[in-house]
Amino acid sequence: MRLAACVEYDGSGFRGWQTQQEGVRTVQEEVEKGLSVVASENISVVCSGRTDAGVHSKGQIIHFDTNAVRSERSWLLGTNTNMAHDVALVSIKSVSDDFHARFSAVARCYRYIIHQRMVKSALMRERAWWVYRPLDIDKMQQAAAYLIGEHDFSSFRAAQCQSNTPMRNVHYINLSREDEMIYVDIKANAFLHHMVRNIVGLLVEIGKGAKPAQWCKDVLEARDRKEAAITAPPQGLYFMSAEYPPGVY
């Protein structure tokens, strides 16, 4: 039997999603530990999109196979009881045997949060990127428009990215402001390693007035990571959701 679940986590205490060597705390290891206790067997999970150290999630989707028969309530409450406080199963359901959390997904959505004020925050230091200089989000939105559609995003991929192709299709990049917070919401068919954080790093440079909006287009066309800006820090990034074809999940 195959089950799919939605996982929420605070990434500040983890070295990322993927299980690593012994002694390194990861979200995958924590989730598999909790599920295995409830299932009374070893559980291995597959996720919709791996996240780096310090990155959070509101809607990570996983799937796993099991012989255990449990109610939805038992899976949720039992698993959450046997996991740490900074990770939780939000929902779980039975899916078809051909469902795949990663390969069945047709899009992923991320949100990046920038905390903009003159002084740093003691409360938001692990939840957002503090930028004290004023940002022109209209100019940032103008720059982001150059990235919409299918492009070669080599200028926005990390050196260690293992994807076979730099081609990605960005559906939208929307910026909004709410008091001291600036939200950057990005949806694409898939993302390269550090792609969202590299895009945000570039948009912030433009928002500060250091570069014109046209610079975004120039960087994209250069297909060279060295032409872009810094990588935004991980604490402002949230994996919001994965999208699937109707009726699949």
Strands (DSSP E) contained in the chain are 2-9, 46-47, 56-65, 87-95, 107-115, 129-130, 149-152, 167-178, 181-188, 237-243
CB count in 10 Å sphere of residue 107: 14
Phi, psi of 247 (to 5 degrees): 85, -5
Maximum alpha-carbon separation in the chain: 58
Catalytic residue among 10, 52, 136, 185: 52
Give me the amino acid identity at 151.
H
**CA dist., res. 200 & res. 2, Å (int):** 37
**CA dist., res. 178 & res. 17, Å (int):** 29
Let me know if 52 is a catalytic residue.
yes
**CA dist., res. 240 & res. 61, Å (int):** 10
Q: Please answer whether residues 60 and 239 qualify as being in contact, where contact means their C-beta atoms are separated by less than 8 angstroms.
A: yes
Q: Please answer whether residues 3 and 46 qualify as being in contact, where contact means their C-beta atoms are separated by less than 8 angstroms.
A: no
Tokens of 169: 């299709």
Which residues have a catalytic role annotated?
A: 52
